[in-house]
Amino acid sequence: MSTPNPNVQGLMIHPLTCQPIRPATPTPRLKQLNPINTTLDVLNKQRHHSLSSSSEEAEDAHQNSNNGWQLIRRTKRKKLHSSQPAVQMSQTETYNRCDILTQEVHQAEPGEQPQLPKNHKPPLIFIHGVINYSEMIKSISEVAEDAKYFTKSMANNVIKLTCTTPDTYRNLIKHSKEKGIYYHTYQLKEERAYRVVLKYLHHTTEVEDIRQELFALGHVARNIVNFHHSLTKETLNLFFIDLEPAINNKDIYSITAIQNKIIHIEPPWTNKKHIPQCVRCQQYGHTRTYCNKPYACDKCGGSQDSKDCNKRRDKPAKCALCGGNHPANYKVCEHYHNIIKGNNPHRTPPESLIPIPISAYNHTTTPHSLPQQQQRSYADVASNRAQVAEEAITTLKAFLEDFKGLIAQLIHQNSLILNMLTEILNKPH
């Protein structure tokens, strides 16, 4: 008897050959394909492929559908090659007005000389009493070229001179002083001191100590003055400091202490409505330092300096601007109010001008006799104060007399009433 083979257990035996019959391997059943589904699968794969490529360039492609009346436009992405040059975008220049705030500002080191600011436009020069323009140009041409200045003729024989460079301005000013030319001008902006007020510093502090301390912090002081009270003349804990013009002038406001003394620095208060008056010619709009016009006395209106005036106090004053009975700096003056109203000081009536001596190209303006407006003079205002006081006293006395008479009448009437009541009460019934 043969031994059964373990590998053939569970298999069927053929009845004739006695050989094991192996089961036939089942043939897999083919899946029936749907042409519509197949087309959709292909489209989905292509769509997924196109969306998954993020670094590809888009280009147009067309795909026809099964019918002839449809056309689907799709996007096919093409991969970029590294050999293709990169496209550079054009840059547009922009301007930010706040960029200046981020720029670094040079801070002066202790003991370092401050840098001077840039040059500014020179101020105007007004030449008065010009009757011969050609002679004036000949005189100016000695120190300045024709292309370095411009002139403009104004009323009352005034020539306005505009210089193009600061050197031309300085040469003309020096030449005018040497030749005795009548003019007035203003200070150069680059030479103008930067004034600040120093507070909370004791008035006994030495000025030289303040100067050295500021110099160590990078500031050069031109002038330092201790402030006094205008009425009591008492020294106060305030100092006016004039700094030399420099780029770092505004940095002085950040200083909070000097030699272990707490201080405060602030800009000075200025009255914008104030009109400066020259104490040399008494005209408004400029100062004595930059005036070369003839002297005019503030008290008597003469052609001398106010310091040399010999007018007695009992004589009335005379205005050098309008001829009234008041000083030239009297704020009720008609000339002053004309300026406040906006009238140009170079267009004032001829009678208010000061006679100028004859020179190379200056001449005297003859005043015309025009009627002046009636106004109260300085002497009238001063004398009127006593009259007002006397009138007030007289009025008060008259009121007291009337009041006394009313009281006397009341007392008399009361006494009559009391007498009548007494007679009625004492009458027998």
Is pLDDT of 89 > 60? no
Lowest mean pLDDT segment, chosen from 117-126, 223-232, 271-280? 117-126
Give the phi and the psi of residue 6 in degrees, each rounded to 5. -65, -20
172 — pLDDT class (breaks 50, 70, 90): very high
111 — pLDDT class (breaks 50, 70, 90): low
Q: What is the pLDDT of residue 76?
A: 44
Is pLDDT of 110 > 70? no
Give dist(CA 114, CA 364) in Å, integer.
48
Pick the residue with more confidence: 20 or 422?
A: 422
DSSP line for 375-402:
---HHHHHHHHHHHHHHHHHHHHHHHHH
DSSP line for 219-265:
--EEEEEEEE-TTT--EEEEEEEEEPP-TTGGGGGG--EETTEE-EE
Q: What is the pLDDT of residue 249?
A: 93
Average confidence (pLDDT) over 365-391? 57
Please, where are the H alpha helices in 103-145?
A: 133-140
Is pLDDT of 40 > 60? no
Q: How many CB atoms lie within 10 A of CB 301?
A: 21
Is pLDDT of 226 > 50? yes
Give dist(CA 395, CA 322) in Å, integer.
37
**pLDDT tens, position by position, 144-153:** 998 899 999 9
Give dist(CA 107, CA 410) in Å, integer.
89
Question: What is the percent of the chain where pLDDT is above 70?
Answer: 62
Q: 193-266 has which CATH code? A: 3.30.70.330
At 244, list the tokens. 């030399």
**pLDDT tens, position by position, 21-31:** 665 555 444 44
Q: Nearest-5° angle of CA 400, CA 404, CA 408? A: 175
Domain range summary for the chain, segments of one domain joined by +: 193-266
Q: What is the pLDDT of residue 311?
A: 87
